[in-house]
Structure 1
Amino acid sequence: MNTTAPVDIYNSFFGFHERPFTLVPDPDFLFWSKSHRLAYTMLEYGILTRSPITVVTGEIGAGKTTLLQHLLKTLPDDVLIGLISNAQGDRGELLQWVLHAVGQKFDPHASYVQLFQQLQDFLLESYANGHRVILIIDEAQNLNVNTLEELRMLTNINSNKDELVQLVLVGQPELRSLIMRPELKQFVQRVGSSFHLSAMSEENVGAYIAHRLRVAGGSGQEFSPNAIHRIYELSRGIPRLVNQICDLGLVYAFSAEEHVVTEETIECVLNDGVFFGASSLEGDQA
């Protein structure tokens, strides 16, 4: 089924040049709530001060990946970035993930010592060429105690007093619990910057919705105050859930030829069972 036409009509109806509430992280739509600004400041602080390890956590859909993408766009040319998403496995597999992330070909049958030596040689060569390496691990809550400890060992690779690699770990709240385990005491001691990205307040949800509407070419007033209040209740201030509800609200308003999404529109979305986020939140309350 071709879904392009309905989306085009939806945009034209409201005067948007693009959909304001997609689920794909997009730095162009980044909304600077107080929490997001603080999280980004701590990311920058960790990088500028050459912190060995920086940790940023937040709920699913809180905007962590969007912040990361914005950060990647602003880093200077002398920084080499290795981005790892959803890494799992033992320490040997972790080294393979790391080498792949920094663009290094390797022998998959090589020993751990050989892989480690290859990575160390790459880091030393990058340092000699005036580059510093930052390794970003997204969805880091999927790592285990052994792989986190192995990551800490990477921060021991240095040249004189300069560390050759910085680590940025981004993950869900359980990452903080994992890091605080007694076995990872040395890991915690290497964390120079950390922040937990909290959900948005109701006021911020309203500002967030208006911001995205305006970025997409709208007036920012396509949602009534009562609709925004209901969206806040349903989403608990989590941006990804806000996006889901708002997108569906616009579809329903377009279908009814209404230029403002009302609380009644949102209730129709709920009653028809098309917002799956509602069931997940009910599960959290159980």
Structure 2
Amino acid sequence: MATSLDIYVDFFGLTERPFSLVPDPAFLFWSDHHRRAFAMLEYGVVTCAPVTLITGEVGAGKTTVLFKLLATLGDDVKVGLITNSHGDRGELLRWVLMALDQPAPADASYVDLFARFQGHLITEYAAGRRVILIFDEAQNLSRESLEEVRMFTNINNNKDVLVQLVLVGQPELRDMIRRPDMIQLAQRVAASFHIPAMDLATVHNYVAHRLRVAGAGEPIFSEPAIDLVHDASRGIPRLVNQLCDFAMVYAFTKDQRHVSRATVEEVLADGVFFAGGQTISVTPRARAVGDLSNRGDI
């Protein structure tokens, strides 16, 4: 059975939904900041940086950049991706071993687990391969776990790099690593980048790009509508997608083939856009601007 989402694709003359929240490489949009973040990740890998740090708000595109990097790595690199970083240092080590496809018996002691981990790194090094451990959502690591992560880099010996670490997380991760008691970890961060929110011009280009990929032959969102999308989403790609998708559904239900600022205001006023947990209010001035349809906001 066709849904309103399927129908709105046909209604706007598109080939698919342009603002789905599901990651799709075909819609990949590289802002200047995402290019720089990728460059720093690549720099960290190429120069054998002990620790590379990438941060950004939820939905800023960190994972997109990360998976783009993974697609470029050759057979001489083995990657362990750790997304569950809760627990004490023993549990963290078990997650690491499992990410590397290594056994981590429940009854094994910490010493046994560490010996297995170190032995695996040496085996990979002897085979001409480096190991990269990527900790996604690393802001969830406890201080004890961060200290354990730092200890991993001690396995490296002079020019011989057995393991590299990539920490990816939300902005508070940078604050954690900058604390006075984390100075030893901070000193091992050789490459880092923070992905900021998109500015207004970038959001305009982002929306146009996704519509174009989805088959739009002409602009669907008015410029004032995109201005408000930027303000309400704070320039975070995932929130831009969500708000634009809602706005297109609303325009479809009103039989309007263009999304006006007034339509975006209706979405915000109805409270269907959660805005990453922040309250969004439309100011009287914004409503006044949105109502000026004679200025081309149709």
Say whether 1:179 aligns with 2:181: no
Are the counterparts in 2 of residues 224 and 262 from structure 1 also a CA contact under 8 Å? yes
Secondary structure class of the residue paired with 1:196: strand
- Which AA in structure 2 matches 1:141? Q
* Whole-Å separation in 1 of the counterparts to 2:141 and 2:66: 19
- Could you say which residue in structure 2 is the equivalent of 1:251? 249
Aligned letter for 2:90? Answer: G
Q: 2:137–2:170: 8 Å Cα contact kept in structure 1?
A: yes
Q: Could you say what secondary structure the match of 1:110 adopts?
A: coil
- Residues 1:200 and 2:198 are matched in the alignment: yes
- Is 1:116 aligned with 2:114? yes
Structure 2 distance, partners of 1:14, 1:127, is 54
Change (3 A) 1:217 1:100: same
Q: Which amino acid aligns with 2:30?
A: W
SS in 2 for 1:228: helix
- Specify the code of the residue in structure 1 equivalent to 2:231: E
Q: How many Å apart are 1:176 and its aligned residue?
A: 0.6
Partners of 1:133 and 1:166 within 8 A in 2: yes
Q: Shift of the alpha carbon at 1:220?
A: 5.8
What amino acid maps onto 1:53 in structure 2? Answer: V
Q: Distance in 1 between matches of 2:243 and 2:219?
A: 16
User: Separation in 1 of the partners of 2:82 and 2:107?
Assistant: 21
Q: Is the 8 A contact 1:14 1:218 kept in 2?
A: yes
CA displacement at 1:214 relative to structure 2: 1.3
Letter in 2 for 1:204: T
Partner of 1:76: 74
Q: CA deviation at 1:260?
A: 1.1
* Deviation, structure 1 residue 26: 3.0
Structure with bigger gyration radius: 2
Match of 1:104 among 102, 105, 115: 102
Change (3 A) 1:278 1:72: closer
Match of 2:129 in 1: 131
| Residue number among 73, 87, 90 corresponding to 1:89 in the alignment | 87
2:40 to 42, 47, 63: 42
Counterpart for residue 264 of structure 1: 262
What pairs up with 1:205-284 in 2 under 5 angstroms? 205-219=203-217, 221-277=219-275, 280-282=278-280
Compute the displacement of 1:5 (Å): 2.8
Offset of 1:36 from its aligned partner? 1.1
| Two-structure CA RMSD over aligned residues (Å) | 1.7
Helix, strand or coil: the match of 2:278?
helix
Q: Is the 8 A contact 2:268 2:280 kept in 1?
A: no
Cα offset, 1:173, TM superposition: 0.6
CA contact (8 A) 1:210 1:220 kept: no
Structure 1 pair 281–127 and aligned structure 2 pair: CA distance change class (3 A): farther
Runs (4 or more) in structure 1 with deviation over 6 Å come to none
- Alignment-derived partner of residue 15 in structure 2: 17
- Alignment partner, residue 63 of structure 1: 61
**Aligned 8 A contact 1:52 1:191 in 2:** yes
Distance in structure 1 (CA, Å) of the matches to 2:185 and 2:277: 37
Contact residue 61 and residue 241 of structure 1 kept, 8 A: yes
Choose which of 178, 189, 211 in structure 1 pairs with 2:187: 189
**Contact conserved, 1:156 with 1:163, CA < 8 A, in 2?**
no
Choose 150-159 or 96-105, whichever is displaced more: 150-159
Give 1:7's aligned residue. Answer: 5
The Cα of 1:279 is off from its aligned counterpart by 5.6
1:116 positional shift? 0.4
Structure 1 alignment gaps of length 5 or more:
none
Count of residue correspondences: 281
Preserved CA contact (<8 Å) 1:222 1:260: yes
CA distance in structure 1 between the aligned counterparts of 2:268 and 2:142, rounded to whole angstroms: 38
SS of equivalent residue, structure 2 residue 198: coil
Shift of residue 278 of structure 1?
7.4
> 1:131-150, CA deviations, whole angstroms, 9 ceiling, x for partnerless residues?
11111101100112211111
Identity of aligned residues (%): 58
1:152-171 to structure 2, matched below 5 A, reads 152-158=150-156, 161-171=159-169
